[in-house]
Amino acid sequence: MSKQFQFKLVLLGESAVGKSSLVLRFVKDQFDDYRESTIGAAFLTQTVTLEDQTTVKFEIWDTAGQERYKSLAPMYYRNANCAVVVYDITQSASLEKARNWIRELQRQADPSIVIALCGNKSDLSARRQVSEEEAKKYAEEEGLMWAETSAKTGEGVSEIFTAIAKKLPLTAPPSARTGAGRAPTGPKSVDLNKQPAGQNSNEPYWLFIKVIHQLYSINSYAYNKSLS
């Protein structure tokens, strides 16, 4: 019998580096030149079957890259099993932003998280500002997976997610694994309806977070429907 796994994956990176386009290519094998920026976060799923028939289901959180949403990112990478941090090879500043995200993940995410650094827009190599050597050296120093992709042509997209899938069953915590024939057990999540110990239910900040999460859930649902 084949083994089955389910993992939470989060995409992080500067706005306009192509995170949503990567997800669209991976999930639907499509590309949209005029895709609007993600608001908050979007949720999608995709399954990868490995050579040994192991099935890996990714629960994908595609987060917004705009600065005003940065403080909400921990809601999405908390308890994530893996992260794809994306930069644009034609924008050197986007690699520095990616480094910032990686440092944040290394400080705050689960210690076992698998992090892949992804240089997108490889089809625009004539406008390259980030060399393969620079990015690869950084990834090796930090113990990251690394690849370049083109969401537009599809080059390298399925390969990077498959590479993550191959690594995850060996590194993910037991709670992320499921045996064949059983319904997959989802990754841990934050219960925003559960009040923290000693916290007043009328506390404005907590209510604000709950409202924001609900709004983003609506946006995620709408995004999913648009891909259907």
In angstroms, the CA 46 to CA 29 distance is 11
CB atoms within 10 A of CB 32: 13
Q: What is the pLDDT of residue 2?
A: 74
CB 25 within 8 A of CB 84: no
CA distance linking residue 48 with residue 198, whole number of Å:
43
What is the C-alpha to C-alpha distance for residues 193 and 202, in angstroms, rounded to an integer? 13
Q: Which residues of the chain have pLDDT under 50?
A: 178-207, 210-211, 216-228
Q: Kindly report, residue by residue over 46-90, the tens digit of the pLDDT.
A: 999 999 889 999 999 999 866 666 778 898 999 999 999 999 999
3-class DSSP assignment, residue 62: strand
List of residues 6+ apart from 166 with CB closer than 8 A: 50
Q: Please report how many Cα atoms fall inside a 13 Å half-sphere around the Cα of residue 160, on the Cβ side.
A: 30
pLDDT at 64: 81
Instruction: Show me where the domains of the chain are located.
Output: 4-227
pTM: 0.75
What count of other Cβ atoms lies within 10 Å of the Cβ of residue 208? 10
Q: Tokens in use for 95?
A: 């690699």
Contact 145, 164 (CB under 8 A): yes
What homologous superfamily is domain 4-227 in, according to CATH? P-loop containing nucleotide triphosphate hydrolases (3.40.50.300)
